[in-house]
Structure 1
Amino acid sequence: MIVITTPTGDIGSQVLTTLLKSAPSSGEELRVIVRDPAKLPAPVRDRVDIVPGSHADPEVVDRAFTGADAVFWVVPPDAQAPSLDLAYRGFTRAAAQAFTTHGVTHVVGVSALGRGTAVAGRAGLVTASLAMDDLIADTGVAYRALANPSFMDNLLRQLRSIRDQGVFTDTVAADRAAPTAATRDIAAAAAGLLLDRSWTGTGSVPVLGPQDLSPNDLARIMSEVLDTPVRYQRQSLEDLRTSLTGHGIGEAFAQGMVDMMRAKEEGLDDGVRRTPQSAGTTTFRQWCEEVLKPAVLALD
């Protein structure tokens, strides 16, 4: 049995869809942990075992992991957490104990690039995520951390600005090329690991996207696909902090975002060599054509 956390989230929902498609041939039983089962599509609810609640809750994970062989683990963002340690390791602690108690053998988690870099210890959200990886690995389960860069899908948060002003923002230099990955490639990597559990030990699985791109590259490709000018506007880290807190984000999470973005500018995502296995299949142009453009056209 495979347990999927965050089955209504961006990556979790795609992992669940892939596993459901493979279920007739794989024979895998699927169980999900979800706060609100009503958010699952009706056809999905009919095909999975549902454990309602939060996967930070010891009683919930105790029920969910009973009889489970593998778990897909995601820590949902907690913008109001008093500390990043509580948001990541604190959230995961009950599950880590339950992995051992119930004999879960394999865990796949969503994490980040940066381990081993000079800035890994001061990278905010990424530093906390890497500490979560260590907590899980220390339980003795076979663990694979999906080591991800920034997501292409993050641009969906700026749809109106892209459409109405022809502008998107970030905090890195306009000509700084870095990896960027589509969440569907991350989900595909997770599903593959969950279905073929021949791997052992602990380690990371980078999902880098097919090529490094700068914000200027992203602007050029978006302009071509959307057939309208799109330009990049660099935002200062202090403006990022002000924007986050102005939208009600707590101080700890806002600082974690600022520290992460500073670390990305300093090389956090640069330490892993791209291979055919880590490149994924979705180019940024393809993602723009298949995800971004339809989303822009669907705006009212």
Structure 2
Amino acid sequence: MRIAVTTPGGHVGRHLTRILIRAGVKPLLLTRHPDRVDAELREHVDVVAADSWDADQVVAATRGVDAVYWVNPPSASGDPLADHARATTAIVAAARANGIRRVVFQSSIGAEKRHGAGEIDGLAATEVALDALDIDVTHLRCGYFFTNLTYEVDALRHGTVQTVLPPDAPMAWVAPRDIAEVAATTVLNPDWSGRRVQGVHGPADLSWAEVSSVLTAELGREVHVEQIGDEQMREQMLAAGMPEPMAAAMLGMSTGLRDGFVPEQARSVFSTTPTTLRSWVQEVLVGAV
């Protein structure tokens, strides 16, 4: 099976690439920056320059491909929903033009709402478009990435993290490496077909209050969580230079999943993955903070 991996330098893609290599696969890496692929990987992968927002480039890059691990790249235009739409157009065009029969898509908890979850609405639209192709597709509905805490390093150093979510409200948190392991087993497993949804929920649902307790213990400093209002968060984002469409999309990911939202897939052995927040903080975050 010829397997293509998009965003191979991302939080999930960098782990997935190595897992596939260890499985004996030589993956095809689609990247805008081929020169950034680690030298130690080069004899074990094929690399092609392709922008995942450019349909023509993705079509050309995926000729002869049997399966794709598809990620909509992080927004670069300031309008995340528009960028998700461009990425959706690209993977749909490639699947149609090249007869790609299998796609594993990195989606998110909340995509099942289809509308009203900010940037996650862009992932929902990709799910809908892939479902319409009549191919084998698995949507990985991932929890909140541990790595999002790396964007809070300055706040952690000052001891306070802000959120618009109730501090005691639990939600799924997950390590990107665990997502990569689920992605690898899914793309390599020949025994599924049709449309599937696979929750990737981490080892336990955590509230921000529980997260702050873990951070306090492992970082050796007090970390408090502060709930602030939606408008205050929006104003802070805009003041930091974030374009209005991006601020709205990012805020909507929290507000849209805040009031009574229940994920389509309940936590089970099917969706639970092993890496704990505590172990991830010890491995990754302690050195950064």
Shorter-normalised TM-score: what interval?
over 0.9
TM-score, scaled relative to structure 1: 0.90
Shift of 1:241: 1.9
- Runs of 5+ in structure 1 lacking a partner? none
- CA spacing shift, 1:161–1:47, aligned 2, 3 Å: same
Equivalent pairs counted in the alignment come to 288
Shift of 1:259: 1.7
- Per the alignment, residue 199 of structure 1 pairs with 192
Q: Is the partner of 2:8 in helix, strand or coil?
A: coil
Q: Is the partner of 1:75 in helix, strand or coil?
A: coil
Q: Tell me if the contact between 1:80 and 1:249 (Cα under 8 Å) persists in the aligned partners.
A: no
- Per the alignment, residue 8 of structure 2 pairs with 7
Q: Tell me if the contact between 1:29 and 1:48 (Cα under 8 Å) persists in the aligned partners.
A: yes
Shift of 1:94: 2.6
> Residue 244 in 1 paired to residue 244 in 2?
no
- Per the alignment, residue 66 of structure 2 pairs with 69
> Residue 97 in 1 paired to residue 97 in 2?
no
> Residue 51 in 1 paired to residue 48 in 2?
yes
Percent of aligned pairs with the same amino acid:
28
Letter in 2 for 1:223: T
- CA spacing shift, 1:271–1:94, aligned 2, 3 Å: closer
Q: Is the partner of 2:214 in helix, strand or coil?
A: helix
Map Cα deviations across residues 221-265 of structure 1 (whole Å, 9 max, x no partner): 111122221111223222222232333332222111122210121
Q: Tell me if the contact between 2:5 and 2:13 (Cα under 8 Å) persists in the aligned partners.
A: yes
Q: Is the partner of 2:9 in helix, strand or coil?
A: coil
Q: Which of 138, 145, 156 is the equivalent residue of 2:139?
A: 145
Distance 1:235 1:245 in 2: 15
Q: CA RMSD in A?
A: 1.8
Q: Which of 29, 32, 35 is the equivalent residue of 1:32?
A: 29
Q: Which of 285, 290, 293 is the equivalent residue of 2:286?
A: 293
- CA spacing shift, 1:245–1:73, aligned 2, 3 Å: same
Q: Tell me if the contact between 2:5 and 2:70 (Cα under 8 Å) persists in the aligned partners.
A: yes
- Runs of 5+ in structure 2 lacking a partner? none
Q: Is the partner of 1:200 in helix, strand or coil?
A: coil
Map Cα deviations across residues 76-122 of structure 1 (whole Å, 9 max, x no partner): 121525461x22133221321221221212101111112555xx421
Map Cα deviations across residues 206-225 of structure 1 (whole Å, 9 max, x no partner): 01111111111111111112
Q: Tell me if the contact between 1:113 and 1:268 (Cα under 8 Å) persists in the aligned partners.
A: no
> Residue 225 in 1 paired to residue 218 in 2?
yes
Distance 2:150 2:90 in 1: 33
Farther off after superposition, 52-61 or 151-160? 52-61
Distance 1:34 1:269 in 2: 35
Shift of 1:18: 1.1
> Residue 114 in 1 paired to residue 115 in 2?
no
Letter in 2 for 1:133: E
- Per the alignment, residue 174 of structure 1 pairs with 167
Shift of 1:39: 1.3
- CA spacing shift, 1:270–1:82, aligned 2, 3 Å: closer
- CA spacing shift, 1:110–1:230, aligned 2, 3 Å: same
Q: Is the partner of 1:233 in helix, strand or coil?
A: strand
